Amino acid sequence: MIIEYHRPDTLESALELLQRETPLTVPLGGGSVLNQPSDSAVAVVDLQNLELNTIKKTSNTLNLGASVTLQQFLETPIILSALTKAIKHEATYNRRQVATLAGSLVACNGRSPLSAAFLALDAHIILLPGEERIGVGDLLPLRKKILKGRLITEISVPVNVKFAYEYVARSPADLPIVSVSATQWSNGRTRIVLGGYGPAPILALDGVQDQDQALTAIENAFFSAGDQWASTEYRVHTAKILAKRCLKTFKE
């Protein structure tokens, strides 16, 4: 339940509100999660007047404001085509108009295609106060702790890379039961991220491309990935097939 609503015009006032001891005060992006009925009482700081919705390209990086919506990101001309697939898979057209990049990242679970893509791309975030820059891989497991009283202002992703996203779901529009997101840099560095399970996507491999090594890494990362949707054996078997498909696209 939202008990207080604030819409500050400066980052300083936003941070002042977020750092209050009581009531618990959190940033409000698109509000698609925070507006859901909930038993916990929170004060919200609406970010819409803070100009965090810009997209800038600097040499090989895309710097995305935390409040950029999924649809705005999708409509960016400089975007990898497989990333388009992951964004469309993340949310329907209506939800994409509202949901922000930071909100989607913070509220994600392991089935989130966009967060898996950010992790595979080795995306980094900027956190205030302190302008701290950390990898999405460091944020996801410790979100609650890291974000207490803090604000994500920017997410940066590389643009000079190859990216692939493959998934299996109950229906084409449903969120994945198993997904593989892979990124390859020009020097051969390859990151493979598994999705469809658990509280956050899982980084399986960050190294040079070697298919056998990638398949072993998938077995290790999904060593205990059974739930009501699929068994560990199914997930490992399927993820290996999807990873081979991703790696094949890098050779084309």
Ligand X SMILES: Cc1cc2nc3c(=O)[nH]c(=O)nc-3n(C[C@H](O)[C@H](O)[C@H](O)COP(=O)(O)OP(=O)(O)OC[C@H]3O[C@@H](n4cnc5c(N)ncnc54)[C@H](O)[C@@H]3O)c2cc1C
Q: Tell me which residues touch ligand X (CB under 6 A).
A: 26-34, 36, 47, 66, 91, 95, 98-100, 102-104, 106-109, 111-112, 147, 151-152, 175
Residue 150, both tokens: 């803090």
Using DSSP's 3-state secondary structure scheme, residue 190 falls into: strand
Q: Which is nearer to ligand X, 88 or 189 (CB)?
A: 88
Q: CA 82 to CA 114: how far, in whole Å?
A: 11
For the CB of residue 175, give the shortest distance to ligand X in the complex, in Å: 5
Q: Which is nearer to ligand X, 34 or 217 (CB)?
A: 34
> What interhelical angle do 113-120 and 81-90 show, nearest 10?
150
Q: Which is nearer to ligand X, 98 or 245 (CB)?
A: 98
For the CB of residue 214, give the shortest distance to ligand X in the complex, in Å: 25
The stretches of the chain forming alpha helices (DSSP H) are 11-18, 70-74, 81-90, 93-98, 101-106, 113-120, 136-139, 143-146, 211-221, 232-251
For the CB of residue 15, give the shortest distance to ligand X in the complex, in Å: 11
For the CB of residue 64, give the shortest distance to ligand X in the complex, in Å: 11
Phi, psi (rounded to 5 degrees) for 220? -65, -45
Q: CA 87 to CA 114: how far, in whole Å?
A: 6
For residues 244 and 192, the answer to whether their CB atoms sit within 8 Å is no
For the CB of residue 136, give the shortest distance to ligand X in the complex, in Å: 13
Using DSSP's 3-state secondary structure scheme, residue 5 falls into: strand
For the CB of residue 28, give the shortest distance to ligand X in the complex, in Å: 5
Q: Which is nearer to ligand X, 65 or 235 (CB)?
A: 65
Q: Which is nearer to ligand X, 66 or 82 (CB)?
A: 66
Q: Which is nearer to ligand X, 112 or 190 (CB)?
A: 112
Q: CA 159 to CA 67: how far, in whole Å?
A: 20
